[in-house]
Amino acid sequence: MQKYDYLIVGAGLYGAVMAHELSKRGKKCLVIEKRDHIAGNIYCEEIEGIRVHKYGAHIFHTSNQRVWEYINHFAQFNNYINSPIAIYKDEVYNLPFNMNTFSKMWGIKTPAQAKRIIDDQIKEMGIVEPQNLEEQAVSLVGKDIYEKLVKGYTQKQWGRKCKDLPAFIIKRLPVRFTYDNNYFNDRYQGIPVGGYTEIIKKMLENVEVRTGVDFFEFRKKNPVIADKIIFTGMIDQYFDYKLGTLEYRSVRFETEVLDCENYQGNAVVNYTDSDVPYTRIIEHKHFEYGMQEKTVISREYSSEWKKGMEPYYPVNDEKNMKLYGQYKKLADQEKNVVFGGRLGSYRYYDMDKVIEEALVQVEKLAVK
């Protein structure tokens, strides 16, 4: 039986960076992936000549120059700027929350006017130290914007009342008092020309990859196939859920080809009214300025994760973080296993942070 230095579980971004970097350092790696394709959740498939983000919209953005230069080894990026809009009933608002949003909401023109309205609404609520997501959101943007643009969307996304969610979830929400619709504050941003799948292909071109392989079944048959394991799956599943099951949110997509050139005029449209069952509609062609005759849209429905479903993002509340801490202690005792990525670290990760974490971990392994 062939022996490898590393068995890498998962052909997503974290696993691909690890495999690429370790193989560059002379390590023999085998990558296994339970899906029938590489690239994890950033996988793109082509429909009607349009690259479709199969597992939800992914816009690459970072302020880390090292990460930006690294990813540009594998692809060129276009100049796409993420400027989503929100629809509440029949009203349309710009996101992130900026002067265009405030002007539409209150019929005002200046930052001073917007700040005065928000400050008055915060004082009226009497919030000093936000204790939950609702209080944090109101303390950032006031009651009007919270009620129309945050509350319904967030409760659909998380399946919980805003009062029952931790405050930190909303702290990364951009709020600015300029007429600037760029959602991200990062220095670098764009969509890779050719799509994300091509990036992962290039990373893995000199690495053995097997798709459609379940790690747990594979390990039973090949217990000593590698000296070390890089595990990017669910940390609680690795330990057979013996301390309990961590909670995740899952996402279901309804993807449809429409016989029109332009359906909604924007790549990302959030539906913030709780009466609309989906959270947003993605029109994929706009990520790459497509001019095809038809268009492809995906409606996104958020749901509670159950075993057998695809876990998308962790529910990082106090209860789950306590349980994750117990699993982390078990993970630290697994001397020949590295847990990484979104599921292995039970953490919401932007793509640049996944790359950054993988590059740091490779250096740690190289030192040993």
Residue of 36, 90, 129, 172 with catalytic role:
172
Residue of 45, 48, 198, 350 with catalytic role:
350
Decide: 270 and 347 in contact? Cβ < 8 Å.
Answer: no
Residue of 48, 147, 160, 176 with catalytic role:
176
Alpha helices in the chain (DSSP H): 13-24, 65-71, 99-106, 111-125, 133-145, 151-158, 196-203, 215-221, 235-238, 318-333, 341-344, 351-367
299 catalytic, yes or no?
A: no
Residue of 134, 236, 300, 352 with catalytic role:
300
Residue of 183, 280, 283, 324 with catalytic role:
280
Residues 6+ apart with CB under 8 A from 174: 96, 97, 98, 183, 184, 185
Terminus-to-terminus CA distance in the chain, angstroms?
26
The two structure tokens encoding residue 50:
């349009």
176 catalytic, yes or no?
A: yes
Please count the CA atoms within 13 angstroms of the CA of 300 that sit on its side-chain side.
25
Q: Is the peptide bond before 96 cis (omega within 30 degrees of 0)?
A: yes
Backbone angles phi, psi at 53, to 5 degrees: -75, 95
Report DSSP state, residue 97.
B
144 catalytic, yes or no?
A: no
Residues 6+ apart with CB under 8 A from 50: 284, 285, 288, 290, 292, 294, 295, 296
300 catalytic, yes or no?
A: yes
Decide: 301 and 254 in contact? Cβ < 8 Å.
Answer: yes
The CA distance from 321 to 315, in Å, is 8
Residue of 249, 327, 342, 349 with catalytic role:
249
210 catalytic, yes or no?
A: no
Residue of 91, 289, 348, 363 with catalytic role:
348
Decide: 267 and 283 in contact? Cβ < 8 Å.
Answer: yes
Backbone angles phi, psi at 180, to 5 degrees: -130, 115
Catalytic residues: 172, 176, 249, 280, 300, 348, 350
